[in-house]
Amino acid sequence: MKRPKIKDTTLDDMFKIVKPEKKIQPLTKEEEIALYHVDRDKLCACDFFPGAHVATEGVKSQAIDNAIAIGAYSFALFLTSARRWAVSKPSDSDLQTFKEKLQKMKMDPKFILPHAGYFVNFASPDSVKRGKSVTRMILEMELAHKFGLKYLNVHPGAGMKQTRTESISTAAKSINEVFQDKRTGDVAIVLECTAGAGSVLGGKLEDLADIKTRVDPKFQDRVLFCLDTCHAHSAGYDLSSKTGVERYCRQAATLLGADCIIGWHFNDSKTPCDSHKDRHENISRGSIGEAGFRALMFHPLTSNRPLILETVGPYDEEIELLMKYAKEAEESHVKDDTKDKKVKIKGELIENPEQLEDEQS
């Protein structure tokens, strides 16, 4: 007897599968400020800095022009080829031009998040590959220092056949070796969360926290973090709702420290939550969707940080969309705040607190 044919589940079908969300206890204002070091009531759209990873076309100073062209408030770039072990040295004129353009643009270096090469693997059990990764990172951090930048973003690596504990220890050992080289200046290593496929570290926030814990205490203040929305969602942290975003941000701030999370990569996901696949999609067109990004664009943990797009673009439209979310969230927050501040005067309910000022003047 033939088995009945099972209908294939499409990606659209998977997106329609809704798991019941567990409610989270709301934080008091004091608890929230203590966790994020930001007063949500004082946030405005101008506190959010979306940008994108821009091309350099061989000249690093061109990245600034490309960022301006798309209306970016922050940007990322490669300081050398991401797909070769060799590190190219910039010309003196390129270094000077980059600094001059940055000064003219009046962008704080904290909103620039350069990305290290893809071959770097701090957790590799292969001593040769790990050594090459350490050397490559030192040279890239030296470049960042020369360009006047503060950070270098990198994935933590994959431990292959090592246990998780062994992989984390290997990664921390590599980071220690990098920091021991004075050519790195005061540049910080920014570890990025990942989708957590296979032996890749960073799928769990605990991975990042544990790596930092194992780094030499004298270097720990130079180990910071970047959260990628696609990676986090694919790793199992559901960011498709306001509740999901709040839950993830609380976990991240608790485990990593809000002040140590210095940037985000903003990407939607082509695959469902917990797929462990790194497939970027345009903002609000994937399994995170509009609700998730609206929540992210008015959250204390994403404020005053670079929010870097790594989608196919067009970036100018996506930056405009994200700022639209922020402005609408600000307007909604102001309305809610106004509603909460209704007061009674002479037995009457005053709908608009500004009316009180008018009557008293």
- Catalytic annotation, residues: 83, 115, 118, 155, 192, 228, 231, 265, 278, 280, 310
* DSSP state letter for 272: -
Q: Provide the residue type at 345 as one letter.
A: I
CB 277 within 8 A of CB 195: yes
Helical residues (DSSP H) of 106-241, grouped into ranges: 127-146, 164-179, 205-214, 229-235
CB 157 within 8 A of CB 132: no
Phi, psi dihedrals of residue 304, rounded to the nearest 5°:
55, 40
- Residue 154 — left, alpha, or beta (φ > 0 → left; ψ -120 to 50 → alpha)? beta
CB 301 within 8 A of CB 36: yes
Angle at 282 between CA 277 and CA 287, to 5 degrees: 50
CB 302 within 8 A of CB 331: no
> Most distant CA pair in the chain: distance in Å?
88
